[in-house]
Amino acid sequence: MSGGLLHSAQSLLATALGLARTRLELFSTELQEQLTRLFYLFIGAVAVLLLAALGAAFAALALLASLPAEHRAGAAAVIAVAFLAMAFAAAWALRRFSVDQPRALEASVAELERDRQALQP
């Protein structure tokens, strides 16, 4: 192999390794961002749901305790339906939130696709 060809091959390999390193750094950054976002989303959702459930449960108990005995069963049924409706609304909102999020590692995939197209003849 001539010196010029060997130098070109080494240069091409160095360039390819540099591209791979840059893409891996981007991938790592995006992965870290996704994990951080998921962690805070999970912790926040658990805290909100726990506090909301406790508040609603105590409010429901206070309401039931304040009613005459003959109306407690009907009021308990209405409260149960209200809790189920709130659970449905929360599940619907969570689903909409998760669908609206950008695809994980989208920038890395786009960069790799650009690299692939650039290398095609």
Whole-number pLDDT of residue 120: 67
For 105, phi and psi rounded to 5 degrees? Answer: 60, 30
pLDDT for 24 = 80
How far apart, in whole angstroms, are the C-alpha atoms of residue 71 and residue 19?
A: 72
- Is residue 98 included in any domain, yes or no? yes
Residue listed under structure tokens 């304040």: 66
Tell me whether residue 117 is in a domain.
no
* The pLDDT of residue 1: 53
Averaged over successive runs of 10 residues, the pLDDT of the chain (121 residues) comes to: 76 79 82 87 86 88 91 90 87 80 70 73 60
Whether 118 maps to a domain, the answer reads no
> Quick check: is 106 in a domain?
yes
101 occurs within a structural domain: yes
Six-digit token string for 3: 């010196």
Residue 47 to residue 55: CA distance in whole angstroms: 12
- In angstroms, the CA 21 to CA 75 distance is 64
pLDDT at 68: 93
Residue 103 lies in a domain: yes
pTM above 0.85, yes or no: no
CA distance 93 to 73: 30
pLDDT at residue number 103: 67
In a domain, 120, yes or no: no
- Kindly state whether residue 33 falls inside one of the protein's structural domains: yes
Q: What is residue 6's predicted lDDT score, i.e. its pLDDT?
A: 80
Residue 34: domain span: 3-111
Q: Are 57 and 38 in contact (CB under 8 A)?
A: no
Domain count, the chain: 1
